[in-house]
A and B are shown apart, each in its own frame.
Chain A
């Protein structure tokens, strides 16, 4: 008797815990009640997420956290940055430790479906490239036959590299490395002819060399690496909040709304699209459970997409990335937000 009661209680507790996790209240309500946004970011990636000397997080991914916090609370500082590693990031999300993941994570089929995540968009279109020494005399990745290549193990880049060399009937010797910093050391020490990782990472790495002029990044981009934020599978309402906050930043650049002129445009603009976006005419915010001026607060957090890009990874920063695919669709890029209507 006693035992069956005990087992019954145990089963009920487990069931209850499981149900609570599965159903729960919506993530937006949880976040609002908590008063803080738990944002899963990289433990440190140049330009995308890094704490400064006084511990304030900064970077391209971090700016999206701030924008979402701005959209929800009207206060971009209400973010708790939770550093996630490449091995525990998905677990952190599915177990509910973080509200959403923005950690330069590539949107792939298996991650979207099998890992029970929902990618809500792309905030940076990246691709894998190669860096070599200039005196190697190589000007194209097609000439890398037989080369030794430094490559991070356990990442999509490793698989892309194998695919590319197989497709082009070439061979290579892989020098496995664990982290980007180790890769730099190995490459500089001459342990490998070429270093391969995402093009944004290559640019940042090269910029940090003592002699950047002696290294070139080869023109071939051998893979698609759309990096974007992800939420838990089935958390659609919450996904909408993230997706449309990101779209608002992109739309703001398209409409010419910057952090400098946003207050002025909010009161005086006659453009109906700007009025809708900034909440002066329609109340779009109510449809996703936010205030009318959600987009305005999101943009005010760190500016529109173009401003964020320029401040964190753009050509005026040491990383010096060109907009490339990440330009507006009107400029030949891929940024194209659905209409705010």
Chain B
């Protein structure tokens, strides 16, 4: 290199310049995201206008909130005294006064600790299912929890849930005993038949006998005393817990080559999906009474739960079938090639993948189920949204209140549904194994 050419070449780096004003910082973001074209600009302005309009409409009402009052008229007086005549405000005092009713319905007030404890234990029981970092031994508690929860909520003799649980142990024992002697099919049949016989004929007398020997009991609470969020959670969580396994079984049944199993599954799924949930609830609440002998007290919440489980299971079945259909044929063949039997193949290879694919659909169904629990108002149960709200509004103190209870109940439902939705996203990202 000589000096004559070096004059055309820089020997030192230029200092970095800041990017043009329109290509950096907030301005760039606004240009790219809000005003990237004329149409987007118009839409942005319209959107902001709508949001502003809503806020301007609601914010003053919300800002004039009253929390301490004994009745709607008292609320109005306080609002008039604080912010002047003629303005409107939110009267949250109704939530404050009827808070226990929204939470517990007509559950006896000195027993409120029981639903609270049941809910706390539910969190403990669900945690190991949701998060696999927790010790696996906790799953044993999750398995026993339905009986614990039932006992805490409804009370009565402790032996009723214990003997009910014993049915599962009996089924397991029957399968283990018969398997070596008579083969898998008979063992499966025994595993189903033995518990059913136990529940139908023996569980009741055995529970009574045990109770007379060792009476351990909580004060009984009847189903019609349930209401509000205790009712919604009881139905919602039981529905969720039982509809998933049933739905998976139905999905497998629909894929099955066995004629009867296949046709029964298809018939069940199509029938349940073709009928509105309210029809099923009415059937459970009213039509059944005509068939059962008079005096039979078949618990109304139990009937509703059964119907909700069947309803959700039919939808879950179709969602899971979607997941099964998305699996490449090779996965099934690989399982066969490894010499796995049907159940092992399902458990180890097919289901983990199919369920992973189905997560968004399954969670959507669960969210729908949880919100559908408010429909029980049509069979005379006091759901939080309409049942309790109507009852509250029917008192002379709170007649005329309208938005506050709806907003409150809506907010609680949103909290739980949003939680489920976020969990499903967490699960999806955790289980993501592909490299997109």
Contact = CB atoms under 8 A, between A and B. Distances in A.
A80 B380 CA distance: 13
A43 interface: yes
A335 B105 CA distance: 37
B380 A43 contact: yes
Contacts of B88: 210
Contacts of A210: 76, 88, 400
Interface string A79-112: 0101111011001100111000000000000000
A16 B293 contact: yes
Contacts of B362: none
Interface in B59-81: 72-73, 76
Interface string B85-114: 000100000000110110001100100000
B394 A44 contact: yes
A85 B378 contact: yes
Contacts of B263: none
A220 to B, nearest CB: 24
Contact of A82 (B224, B292, B391): B224
A209 B295 CA distance: 45
Interface stretch (A64-72, A132-140, A179-187, A296-304): A179-187
B5 interface: no
A91 B402 CA distance: 30
Interface stretch (A49-57, A221-229, A272-280): A49-57
A256 to B, nearest CB: 28
Contacts of A92: 286, 380
B240 interface: no
A325 interface: no
Interface size class of A (residues with CB under 8 A): 35 or more
Contacts of A45: 394
B285 interface: yes
Contacts of B396: 46-47, 204, 207, 317-319
A184 B400 contact: yes
B140 interface: no
B422 to A, nearest CB: 33
Interface string A183-196: 01100000000000
Contacts of A209: 400
Contact of B402 (A43, A95, A181): A181
A49 B380 CA distance: 14
B357 to A, nearest CB: 40
B428 interface: no
A88 B282 contact: yes
A208 B400 contact: yes
Nearest to A84: B380
A53 B98 contact: yes
Contacts of A91: 286
A20 interface: yes
Contact of B378 (A16, A87, A204): A87
A30 B291 CA distance: 19
B286 A95 contact: yes
Contacts of A52: 395
Interface string A160-196: 0000000000000000000101001100000000000
Contacts of A87: 378
A83 B380 contact: yes
A85 B393 CA distance: 15
A24 interface: yes
A89 to B, nearest CB: 9
A298 to B, nearest CB: 24
B391 A44 contact: yes
A21 B395 CA distance: 37
Nearest to B291: A17
Contacts of A84: 380
A88 B391 contact: no
Interface in A7-54: 14, 16-17, 20-21, 24, 30, 42-47, 49-54
A208 B286 contact: no
A51 B105 CA distance: 10
Contacts of A205: 399-400
B289 interface: yes
Interface string B384-395: 000100111111
A80 B224 contact: yes
Nearest to A43: B390
Interface string B246-278: 000000000000000000000000000000000
A215 to B, nearest CB: 12
B53 interface: no
B382 interface: yes
A46 B292 contact: no
Contact of B399 (A85, A185, A208): A208
Contacts of A319: 396
B293 A185 contact: no
Contact of B391 (A17, A51, A85, A179): A51
A30 B387 CA distance: 29
A88 B285 contact: yes
B148 interface: no
Nearest to B405: A181
Contact of A43 (B101, B293, B294, B387): B387
A113 B295 CA distance: 26
B379 interface: yes
Contact of B380 (A24, A82, A181, A184): A82
B380 A17 contact: no
Interface string A305-319: 000000000000111
B399 A88 contact: no
Contacts of A47: 396
Contacts of A54: 109
Contacts of B400: 184, 205, 208-210
B104 to A, nearest CB: 9
B8 interface: no
Nearest to B378: A85
Contacts of A85: 377-378, 380
Contact of A88 (B76, B97, B379, B394): B379
Given A87-B378, A317-B396, A50 B294 contact: no
A88 B378 contact: yes
Given A17-B293, A50-B394, A83 B382 contact: yes
Contacts of A53: 97-98, 100-101, 395
A208 B72 contact: yes
Contact of B394 (A20, A46, A55, A317): A46
Given A46-B396, A210-B76, 5 more contacts: A46-B399, A50-B391, A51-B101, A55-B105, A208-B399
26 contacts: A17-B291, A17-B293, A21-B293, A44-B391, A46-B399, A50-B395, A53-B98, A53-B100, A55-B105, A55-B106, A82-B380, A83-B382, A85-B377, A88-B378, A91-B286, A92-B380, A95-B286, A95-B289, A96-B289, A96-B294, A181-B402, A207-B396, A208-B72, A210-B400, A318-B399, A319-B396
Which 8 pairs from chain A and chain B are nearest by CB?
A44-B394, A208-B400, A50-B394, A95-B289, A208-B399, A55-B106, A44-B391, A44-B390
